[in-house]
Amino acid sequence: MKLFFLVLAATAVIADDLVPTCSKPVYCNSELLHHVQIPKIYPDSKTFVDFQMRKDEETTLNDFQKSLNQTDGKPSKQQLEEFVKEYFDDSGELEDWTPSDWSSEPPILNSIHDEKYRQFAKDLNQIWLILAKRMKPSVIEKPEQHSLIPVTHGFVVPGGRFKEIYYWDTYWIVEGLLISGMTTTAKGMIENLIELLNKLGKVPNGSRWYYQERSQPPLLAKMVALYYQKTGDIEFLRDNIVALEKEMNYWLDTHIIALNKDDKVYTLLRYYAPSAGPRPESYNEDYTNAQRLRNGRDPTEFYVDIKGAAESGWDFSSRWFLGPNGDNSGNLTNIETRNIIPVDLNAIFFNALNNVAKFHSLLKDPRKAAHWASVAEQWRSNIESVLWNEDDGIWYDYDIINESHRKYFYTSNFAPLWMGAVEQRFLKKHAPRVLDYLYNTEVLDYPGGIPTSLNNTGEQWDLPNVWPPEVSIVIGALEALDTEESKRLAKDVASHWVRVCYKGFSDTKQMFEKYDALVAGKYGGGGEYTVQEGFGWTNGLMFELFEKYGKELKSSDSIEDTPVIPADNHSNEKLSSISESLEVIPLNPSRSTESFEN
């Protein structure tokens, strides 16, 4: 009973314990933010918080308070627009940047035998120049007037509305840059994240102050492993090992939770971002949803859970919904991220622990290597004990309220394989069962790629959307199973995904952050904002697959119009009309080598 109360206490949110979303009130916690965001002066809530102040923060807030007093606290939309125009600048904080190590003929092209795909890779290589940015001098000179956090090195942004560094996006971007021969740029990207870590005590969700109180999947150590694998730069490890340990301790200090399963106590991580109020970059959306809460639910809990889901990178998905019966039904008002133990977070954290242990071995520090290896091994054991489902032969997220596995298909179920968080004896025993699970979901039948979930909620991390990082996870998992069948299937999935993206690029000359599983090459939809082009992690995955399979991939293979067999939870109008054409809907013009860690 005592253990049961331990779990319940860990899930509670106490409003008095919450800190502000960030230390810059203009962008995070002010009457100004509230009054500007609620009437939707800008269709995208992110627009305003990306503006820079023309004056200092104190003057801006004081003058706005005077304006409020003159209007009895009820300024008109026009008055708000005029105030923003006078006190804020929307000219942008970044400038174009050409990395010194970019080449129009990167060596990876020699590994791609298909002529059309080689040209495709050359076109993708050009996109790095579009996405490469650096800070304007004004950000460095007057950082207090910006929501953007200054960093030293140039960087590659994801694209579209995302005009800053994003933590987990950067992993696939760094991977793509390294494969493209841009080692110095990749190193600078990693060093920027370490700067942010040292400044904030964590790697934030993104390099904006309004992301200050939440992180994202801890992939920094894996990025360092990729860089070291390419360069053998032991001094880089020596210079940054303390920072990597700092990140491990941050997660252990702030995100750990104990649970009782089968009369044993286990500790694992959850996503948890306890700060007050709505997300500044989605203020209107969060505030509006909080007004719709039912059954007396506290908005404070809702705001913490919505930020926790944003911290996961899966913003948003039925994966975080706890319906009335503990299922994944409902909508955003049912979100309870803090009460779910995620498979992918814990697999990624194991990998980070394991890499830090290996780095210490390389640096000839056996005592610290043994310490972190011991923590990693305990983490791997806990993943197996808590998240593995023996009946279904797969890993599932765990519901700590209902003390049960969340037995739904999500691509994150495969993360332990991708992250090497599975012992060899366990892998050999269960590899056929994992493959059977994948086949039985029928997710391989979708013409546009493997959907992130099989629950069509309208949220962007659910059916029918396909996300490049999750495709990378599934392919990596299949490779890790290391059977003839799994390796063949990994190549088939990779080959199909490259054809999907090639078709989309051929039709639109764009790469997108997400795609539609129902229509090969069509961009995805749903969620809080329109689909974004660019796109950093999509580019990165393409180079990953060209490096692994470039000699075998053929553009002459056609996209197969394989009909989807709808399961019961697929039912909706879009799925029932799966026979629609595979043509891409035109855009609105306005709009390897063996891994180090395994």
Q: Which residues are catalytic?
A: 315, 513
Structure tokens at 221: 């150590």
Distances (CA, A) of 148 to 23, 92, 164, 165: 13, 10, 8, 10
Q: Which two tokens stand for residue 222?
A: 């894996």
CB 383 within 8 A of CB 421: yes
Distance CA 451, CA 344 (A): 16
- Residue 369, number of CB atoms within 10 A of its CB: 18
Q: d(Cα 420, Cα 353) in Å, to the nearest integer?
A: 12
C-alpha 283/C-alpha 292 separation (Å) is: 15
Residue 569 is given by DSSP the state G
Q: Is 461 helix (H, G, I), strand (E, B) or coil?
A: coil
Instruction: Look at residue 457 and give its three-state secondary structure.
Output: coil
- 16 residue type, one letter: D
Token pair belonging to 353: 């622990």
CA of 311: how far to CAs of 95, 279, 443, 528, 571, in Å? 28, 11, 26, 16, 30
Residues ≥6 apart with Cβ < 8 Å to 341: 257, 259, 268, 269, 270, 386, 387, 397, 398, 400
Residue 291 burial (CB < 10 Å; 0-12/13-18/19+)?
A: exposed
User: Residue 344, Cα to own-chain centre: how many angstroms?
Assistant: 11
* Nearest to 408, CA basis, from 343, 324, 345: 343
Distances (CA, A) of 291 to 302, 306, 526: 10, 14, 21
Helices (H), 213-282: 220-231, 234-254
Torsion angle of the four alpha carbons 509, 513, 518, 519, in this order, in degrees rounded to the nearest 10: 0
CB contact at 8 A, 452 and 316 = no
Task: Please give the structure tokens belonging to residue 593.
Answer: 């080598």
| Residue 303 · residue 282 · CB < 8 Å | no
Instruction: Give the chain's largest Cα–Cα span.
Output: 74
Question: Which residues make beta-bridge pairs with 523?
Answer: 515
Cis peptide bond N-terminal to 83, omega within 30: no
Q: What is the dihedral of CA 263, 267, 270, 275, to 10 degrees?
A: 110
d(CA 245, CA 356): 7
